Amino acid sequence: MTSRGLASWEAGAETDRVRVVVVGDEPTLARVPAVFSGAPGLPAEVRVDSSAPEEFGAYLESVRAGHLAVVFFLTDGPGIPSALRALRDRRHFDRTRVYLLTPDAGEVTPETIDTCDVEEAIGRRHLTLPMLAQMVANGVRAYRALGANPLVPRNYLDAQWNEVFDWFETTKWDWREVDLSRIEKERLSDDDVEMLHELAIGEFGTLPAAHNFLREWHDEYSFSSWTLSWGAEEARHALVQSRYLRAVGVELKAKHAMYKREPYPMGRHRAGTLMMNIISETRASEYYSALARRVSEPVLRRIWTLLGRDEARHARAFAVFCKELTDRSDEDRRAALEMAYVWLADRSRGIKHPAGFFYPHSTTTRGFRRIEGDLPRITDHADQKILAIIRKMLRDDSLQSVADVKAQLRVQLA
């Protein structure tokens, strides 16, 4: 095993630098002696090694999986090189991208490419240095794009998103279920309209939340894909309530949506972010449902009933994604519990979507505080449901109260 040292590789800077290795026997390597030597356009952070096939196992033992970006196997026939099998037998090298350089193009079967997760098989007869440099650059980029999130599966459909999709998609309400032409305006009070106004504005806070979910979950596609469905539902919540307001002669000002367009700080821990949303969705569900029971205008009662059910579905889905994390590590369990304690123990931060907490210049929290004032037991009831979700998620029946959450946290931090 030798190092060609084409690019600088400084000790102590390994986390930013990656390795590329060319695997072939001496005669083969000799036939392509300059393939990587001084290739123009080679990423500066790449170090290129070479290895004889019989030494490749030892080479793999000597490098960290997180550093091996690309392997070029120089082959003389259509078969799978045993060195390639050695690489793919080691699951921790799944991210490593593989190129086969064969004497001629088209020698490698699609089965080989699929079985060994080969990026591309290329005939080396007409290979040029710029082409190789481009392949290295593409390989390194592909390797980096895979990221290091352990929840990303090998097969696309093995993600939680695929599990959640059917029940989520088939339980959403039909837009035609709400007929604003049937509003019985005389049954509407000024209080109802004011509350509706506040709730519609509150829903605007979900747009920056969707933005933040995509930023925070940048290294996967599962929760991110579900976020698009969730965000689309939340946008309907804002729209249907705004349209109702217009139908009764009240215009909702666009400024309220714009006040919440600034991104807010990303969460420090994903399990904590998800727990925060389990809490906000469950509380929102209880508020909408309680308001629906109280209002006498039938179209508004229908809207709030539907939105209450939506928010409960949202809480359930957030819990599924949170459980995926808390099942994996104690650190995630602790983060979820910490967030639960913060929001359940102290309601002064705001009681609906915690996103509202980040927008003190917006007017929404006043309305939600009024809901709590009007319906004092609703938050207690919601928080009991939240504790039930947490017990199920963490498989811990001891968590019956906020004090139990605190006690459990003490144990975990000890």
Binding residues for Fe ion, per CB under 5 A? 234, 237, 281, 311, 314
First to last CA, the chain: 48
Minimum distance, C-beta of residue 302 to Fe ion, in the bound complex (Å): 15
Minimum distance, C-beta of residue 412 to Fe ion, in the bound complex (Å): 29
Task: Give the strand pairing for 118-123 and 97-102.
Answer: parallel
Minimum distance, C-beta of residue 233 to Fe ion, in the bound complex (Å): 7
Write the Ramachandran bin of 238: left for phi over 0, alpha for psi from -120 to 50, otherwise beta.
alpha
Cα 72 to Cα 6, 112, 392: the distances in Å are 15, 15, 48
Minimum distance, C-beta of residue 314 to Fe ion, in the bound complex (Å): 4
Query: CA angle, corner 288, sides to 287 and 292, nearest 5?
Result: 115
314 vs 333 by CB, closer to Fe ion: 314
Minimum distance, C-beta of residue 329 to Fe ion, in the bound complex (Å): 27
121 vs 199 by CB, closer to Fe ion: 199
197 vs 314 by CB, closer to Fe ion: 314
d(CA 223, CA 288): 25
28 vs 206 by CB, closer to Fe ion: 206
> Which helix or strand (DSSP H or E) is residue 102 part of?
strand 97-102
> Which helix or strand (DSSP H or E) is residue 50 part of?
strand 46-51
Asked whether 48 and 100 are in contact (CB, 8 A), the reply is: no
Minimum distance, C-beta of residue 289 to Fe ion, in the bound complex (Å): 13
Phi and psi at 394, nearest 5°, equal -95, 0
**Structure token digits, residue 256:** 């309220």
50 vs 241 by CB, closer to Fe ion: 241
Any residues with CB less than 8 A from the CB of 229 and at least 6 apart, and which?
Answer: 165, 168, 169
Cα 406 to Cα 316, 332, 344, 345: the distances in Å are 23, 16, 10, 9
Query: Partners of 244 in the beta sheet?
Result: none
314 vs 316 by CB, closer to Fe ion: 314
Query: Partners of 122 in the beta sheet?
Result: 101
Three-state secondary structure readout of 263-303 = CCCCCCCHHHHHHHHHHHHHHHHHHHHHHHHHCCCHHHHHH
Minimum distance, C-beta of residue 317 to Fe ion, in the bound complex (Å): 9
Minimum distance, C-beta of residue 203 to Fe ion, in the bound complex (Å): 5
49 vs 234 by CB, closer to Fe ion: 234
Any residues with CB less than 8 A from the CB of 327 and at least 6 apart, and which?
Answer: none
108 vs 257 by CB, closer to Fe ion: 257
> Which helix or strand (DSSP H or E) is residue 70 part of?
strand 68-74
Query: Which parts of 295-329 fold into alpha helices (H)?
Result: 298-326
Asked whether 321 and 223 are in contact (CB, 8 A), the reply is: yes
49 vs 216 by CB, closer to Fe ion: 216
Minimum distance, C-beta of residue 277 to Fe ion, in the bound complex (Å): 8
Minimum distance, C-beta of residue 197 to Fe ion, in the bound complex (Å): 15
285 vs 326 by CB, closer to Fe ion: 285
